[in-house]
Structure 1
Amino acid sequence: MKKMHISQEHIIELIQEYQQGRISDSGVQKLQEWLKEDEANAEEFAKYLALFKESGALSNLDRLQKENAWLNISTSLSKTKKKSKVRKLHTWLPYAAAVVVLFTVGYFMIEQVRNDYDFEKDYNFAAISSIGSKKAVLTLENGQKVNLEENDKELITEADGTLIQKNADSELIYDNASSAKDRVIYNQIEIPRGGEYSLVLADGTKVWLNSESSLRYPVQFVGNKRIVELTGEAYFEVAHNSSKPFVIESHDMEIKVLGTSFNVSSYEDGEFIATTLVEGSVELSCLGNKELLKPGFQATVKKGDNRFKLEQVNTDLYTSWKDGVFRYKDQSLEEICHQLSRWYNVEFFFTDHKYREYRFTGAAKKNKSLNFTLDMIEKIADVKFAIKDDKIIVGKPE
């Protein structure tokens, strides 16, 4: 089973949606799949429970009955998931109980948390974070994985003879001079949290990949289309070829171009897919609906929907990450923390939903420590940050 890419924060949000009776069918499915896919996910719950316990939030935990919790959740789910769903849910009964326990404990914690953290203390956020860097894992056709951060080889040869090497800027370059084009061979590059990487495909198209992103692509483009598959965020400078359009597939979206520069954000744990066009022209297709995007505009579409929202934007706000700068204009603190968590490889926890909606305008260089960025946000956005164990707490002294 393919491993889900879903953040801890999003899991907690799904649990809260269930508790409030407003979880969607897709949300129920995500929880089911996440809890079933790996026993290690139960350990993730334990980490949060430990955090809650240290904040004095477990005073009522002994009164919680896991059996009753399971009865409530299974009864509710059976109303929307008929037939054999209950039998399948039974395999994750212990985890389902843990879900309800987690939310209930979290509820008590949220009520008390304002007094549990010293937001006036001088914290060293760099101690629990790390500045992102160029790193990625390349998977060849035969399944071999190459750690590009550690790989000192100047040359890799694919099965069709394609030469793969690094240039002076540590970009991956595909050279088709000696390759045979009798069949399609795919490579996949995956960028971890705290990483980024760029590569030049065989047709000359340049791609910058952001943290927690992956791209699957042919070593050589064969046929009348150049098709790649994206998860996460990437900036493309597509080499022009009027007879062979470049196509990006991501979830239900298809982006077709001839030669242009644009950004695509399509993370697994995100609700929307956003395409921001810098120059040129792109055709967007989603579940039967099509839209032509003009330079300086951004198109967003909700996953599972086909209605595009078009908006004229400052494209630098959505593309500056590839040049080493985070830029924000009236952006929510929740969105900012999502971006920072990927780059600095750290988790944020909000003490109150209202802080998620705080707006911030500014800019920060990616090579600065997290201390610098959070200090700047504190001065402008009227919010404070604290550390609890290995997580950054977002709130304010009350």
Structure 2
Amino acid sequence: MDNNIHRISYFLQKYLDGDISTAELSLLHTLLEESDEDDIKAAFDLLWNNTPLSQDNTDPLFSDEEADAVLRDIITQVPITPRKTKGKVMTAYALAACAVGILLTFGWIHFNREVSLPEEAVSITSQKMEQDVNPAQEEAILTLEGGETLSLHDIKAGDSIRMGDVKLVNNNGLLSYEPAQVEDLGTQHFVQTPKGGQISMKLPDGTKVWLNADSRITFLSNLGVKDREVTVMGEVYFEVAKLDGKRFTVKSTSGEIEVLGTKFNVRAYPEDKLMQTALVEGSLAMKTSSDRVVLKPNEVGVASASQRISVSQHGHIADIIAWKNGLFLFENATLADVGRQLGRWYNIQVQLAEGLAVQRITGKITRDVKLSEVMKMLHYLGIESKLKDNKLIMIQKEHAYEKTIKM
């Protein structure tokens, strides 16, 4: 193999790591100028150890614009003179266009967790890991009003257990309430997921709920016999069962929601100081002490601390509930919000360097990967991270590509 291919690959790795000197960057420009498209592709193949691409439709780590920006960033610092190489006219534009496809290959490989990355490509991040952190597991604690507790994780598929006046059954992974006896008043049940936990279950009235990490729902054991009212903290997705025209009410510290039968997501973490409701189908009413609005499908309502409710149309409402389907999906999200979500999911503290909290990213990460995989992705997106004493510290890399980056 041409020695220049090895050299291009070496300096590209240093550039992506943000560890390239001015002299090395100048040499990389020269090598790119003197090489044709085939040699550049071969250099990237060498960089990624000839890892084959999949045929699925996994989204790339970089958008076309961002991939183009990386090469233009290299090219514009020392302009490349148009010249003939092996019978082809190689302009700076053509070189950048060629590299777009190559970097998309780079992005897919790095995004897809099932493909092993070359050890040298992730050595910096790996060296900073004192220990890895697993993603959230199916875990929640049920507490009765008398103080009795039960880990719902202990109810295995096919098993059932009686708690107070109800019986809990695990039907193929879905925990379901089956009232053992109907009481006039019922008893309060509190289901809490810890940081690093999640749960899905069917309430006594047949409504299905999914609790994200660090969330809580409170309801009566005879929910649906008289009233259908629950209280939430954190993030919960609802598929409300229709029941004889009885309204279903969701309350939080920021307001409440009334529905008959519908699918919607509620996010009301205390630190957010607001309640966000995204309607998937059906209809619902949001209320605060001073405002009331009716949402239609694909609308998002936000009740702020001022008790006012704002409504916006959302073209991709499924993005908001991606967490229920095993994805972190960020759309122009600040790293402050990303950090909070990672903190809840991995049960860690997150510290951002000054100025990093307002930086925005757009993209997605599967939620079933270990923290080290997320750190590897962040590394190649211009964010260095280090885990110490259960705290993830993020800082801006010196050679970050853009203010807005994609995962």
Equivalent residue, structure 2, for 1:157: 162
User: Structure 2 residue aligned with 1:270, among 263, 272, 275?
Assistant: 272
Q: How many residues align?
A: 274
1:77-114 residue CA offsets vs partner (Å, 9 max, x unmatched) = xxxxxxxxxxxxxxxxxxxxxxxxxxxxxxxxxxxxxx
* Mapped contact 1:157–1:163 kept (Cα < 8 A): yes
Query: Equivalences for 1:1-398 in 2 at 5 Å?
Result: 122-123=126-127, 125=129, 127-151=131-155, 154-160=159-165, 162-169=166-173, 171-176=174-179, 178-221=180-223, 224-303=226-305, 305-313=306-314, 314-352=316-354, 354-380=355-381, 382-397=382-397
1:315-358 residue CA offsets vs partner (Å, 9 max, x unmatched) = 12210111111111111111011101111111111121x11111
Give the alignment's TM-score, normalised by structure 2. Answer: 0.63
Query: Partner of 1:356: helix, strand, or coil?
Result: coil
Give the alignment's TM-score, normalised by structure 1. Answer: 0.65
* Mapped contact 1:360–1:377 kept (Cα < 8 A): no
* Mapped contact 1:214–1:230 kept (Cα < 8 A): yes
Measured in 2, the distance between the counterparts of 1:158 and 1:389 equals: 38
Q: How far apart are residue 241 of structure 1 and its match?
A: 2.6
Q: Where does structure 1 lack aligned partners over 5 or more consecutive residues?
A: 1-118
* Mapped contact 1:289–1:306 kept (Cα < 8 A): yes
Measured in 2, the distance between the counterparts of 1:321 and 1:347 equals: 20
Measured in 2, the distance between the counterparts of 1:174 and 1:300 equals: 31
Equivalent residue, structure 2, for 1:77: none
Pair 1:203–1:387, CA change in 2 (3 A): closer
Equivalent residue, structure 2, for 1:62: none
Equivalent residue, structure 2, for 1:32: none
Pair 1:310–1:185, CA change in 2 (3 A): same
* Mapped contact 2:133–2:372 kept (Cα < 8 A): no
Q: How far apart are residue 270 of structure 1 and its match?
A: 1.6
Equivalent residue, structure 1, for 2:58: none
1:255-311 residue CA offsets vs partner (Å, 9 max, x unmatched) = 0000000100001222221101111111000013100011111111222x2211211
Query: Partner of 2:320: helix, strand, or coil?
Result: helix
Structure 1 vs Structure 2 CA RMSD: 2.1
Pair 1:149–1:224, CA change in 2 (3 A): closer
* Mapped contact 1:253–1:287 kept (Cα < 8 A): yes
Pair 1:281–1:150, CA change in 2 (3 A): same
- What is the one-letter code of the residue matched to 2:146? N
Runs of 4+ deviating beyond 6 Å:
none
Equivalent residue, structure 2, for 1:105: none
Q: Where does structure 2 lack aligned partners over 5 or more consecutive residues?
A: 1-122, 399-407
* Mapped contact 1:316–1:327 kept (Cα < 8 A): no
Query: Partner of 1:203: helix, strand, or coil?
Result: coil
Comparing 371-380 with 334-343, which one deviates more in the overlay? 371-380
Pair 1:156–1:300, CA change in 2 (3 A): same
Q: How far apart are residue 128 of structure 1 and its match?
A: 4.6
Pair 1:328–1:250, CA change in 2 (3 A): same
Measured in 1, the distance between the counterparts of 2:202 and 2:177 equals: 6
- What is the one-letter code of the residue matched to 2:259? V
Query: Partner of 2:134: helix, strand, or coil?
Result: coil
Aligned-residue sequence identity (percent) comes to 30
Pair 1:230–1:326, CA change in 2 (3 A): same
Measured in 2, the distance between the counterparts of 1:219 and 1:324 equals: 29
* Mapped contact 1:138–1:187 kept (Cα < 8 A): yes
* Mapped contact 1:384–1:395 kept (Cα < 8 A): yes
* Mapped contact 1:281–1:294 kept (Cα < 8 A): yes
- What is the one-letter code of the residue matched to 1:386? K
Measured in 1, the distance between the counterparts of 2:231 and 2:356 equals: 35
- What is the one-letter code of the residue matched to 1:214? R
Pair 1:207–1:245, CA change in 2 (3 A): same
- What is the one-letter code of the residue matched to 2:178? D
* Mapped contact 1:350–1:395 kept (Cα < 8 A): yes
1:6-38 residue CA offsets vs partner (Å, 9 max, x unmatched) = xxxxxxxxxxxxxxxxxxxxxxxxxxxxxxxxx
Query: Partner of 2:336: helix, strand, or coil?
Result: helix
Q: How far apart are residue 151 of structure 1 and its match?
A: 4.5
Query: Partner of 2:321: helix, strand, or coil?
Result: helix
Measured in 1, the distance between the counterparts of 2:209 and 2:287 equals: 21
* Mapped contact 1:126–1:369 kept (Cα < 8 A): no
Pair 1:392–1:156, CA change in 2 (3 A): same
Q: How far apart are residue 125 of structure 1 and its match?
A: 4.5
Measured in 2, the distance between the counterparts of 1:385 and 1:241 equals: 49
* Mapped contact 1:183–1:222 kept (Cα < 8 A): no
